[in-house]
Amino acid sequence: MFDMVWIYEPSAWVGLFTLVVLEIVLGIDNLLFIAILASKLPARLQDKARYIGLGLALLTRLGLITAISWVVSLKDPVISMFGLGLSIRDIILIVGGMFLLFKSTSELHEKLEGKDSTASADSDKAVAKAFWMVVLQIVVLDAIFSLDSVITAVGMCEHVFIMMFAVIIAMAVMVSLSKFLTAFVSSHPTLVILCLSFLLMIGFSLMADGLHIHVPKGYLYTAIGFSILIEIFNQIARKNNLKLDKNIRNNSRELAASLVLRILGAKSDNQLQNIKESIVSPPVDNVFAREEKDLVSRVLGLDSQPIRAIMTSRRDIVMVDIGEPYKEVLGNMVNNSYSHIVVYIGDNKDNPLGFINKTELLEKLIKGHGEVVLKNLVRKPLYIPETVSVLTCIEEMKRAKNYNTFVVDEFGNFEGIVALRDIMEEIAGELPEKSEIQDCVKNKDGSFDVQGDLALTELERQTGIYIPAGSHYHSVAGFIMETLQILPDVGAQVRIDGCVLTVREVKDHTIELVNLKVTEPDEKK
User: What pLDDT is stored for residue 314 in this prediction?
Assistant: 85
Exposed/middle/buried for residue 343 (C-beta within 10 Å: 0-12, 13-18, 19+): buried
Instruction: Summarize pLDDT for 5-28 with one digit per residue, the tens.
Output: 556 566 666 666 766 766 666 566
Mean pLDDT for the stretch of residues 472-480:
86
In order of start, what are the domains of the chain with their CATH numbers?
5-239 (no CATH), 247-287 (no CATH), 307-428 (3.10.580.10), 440-518 (3.30.465.10)
Given a contact cutoff of 8 angstroms between Cβ atoms, the answer to whether 418 and 393 are in contact is yes
pLDDT at residue 518 in the model: 85
Across 250-261, average pLDDT: 59
Torsion of CA 51, 57, 62, 65, to 10 degrees: -150
CB 171 within 8 A of CB 57: yes
How confident is residue 157, by pLDDT bands cut at 50, 70 and 90?
low
Q: According to the per-residue pLDDT averaged within each range, which of 150-154, 155-159, 434-438 is highest?
A: 434-438
- Give the amino acid at 95: V
Share of the chain above pLDDT 70, in %: 69
Is it the case that residue 30 has pLDDT exceeding 70?
no
Q: Which residue has the higher pLDDT, 317 or 26?
A: 317
pLDDT band at 272 (very low <50, low <70, confident <90, very high): very low
* Residue with more model confidence, 56 or 270: 56
What pLDDT score was predicted for residue 276? Answer: 47
pLDDT of residue 251: 55
Gyration radius of the chain over CA positions: 34
pTM, entire model: 0.44
Q: Which residue has the higher pLDDT, 267 or 359?
A: 359
pLDDT (tens digit per residue) in 63-83:
766 765 565 556 677 777 777
Distances (CA, A) of 365 to 330, 360, 376, 426: 10, 9, 14, 36
Q: Which of 30-39, 310-319, 452-461 has the lowest mean pLDDT?
A: 30-39
Lowest mean pLDDT among 249-263, 394-408, 439-453: 249-263
Confidence grade of residue 417 (pLDDT, cut at 50, 70, 90): very high
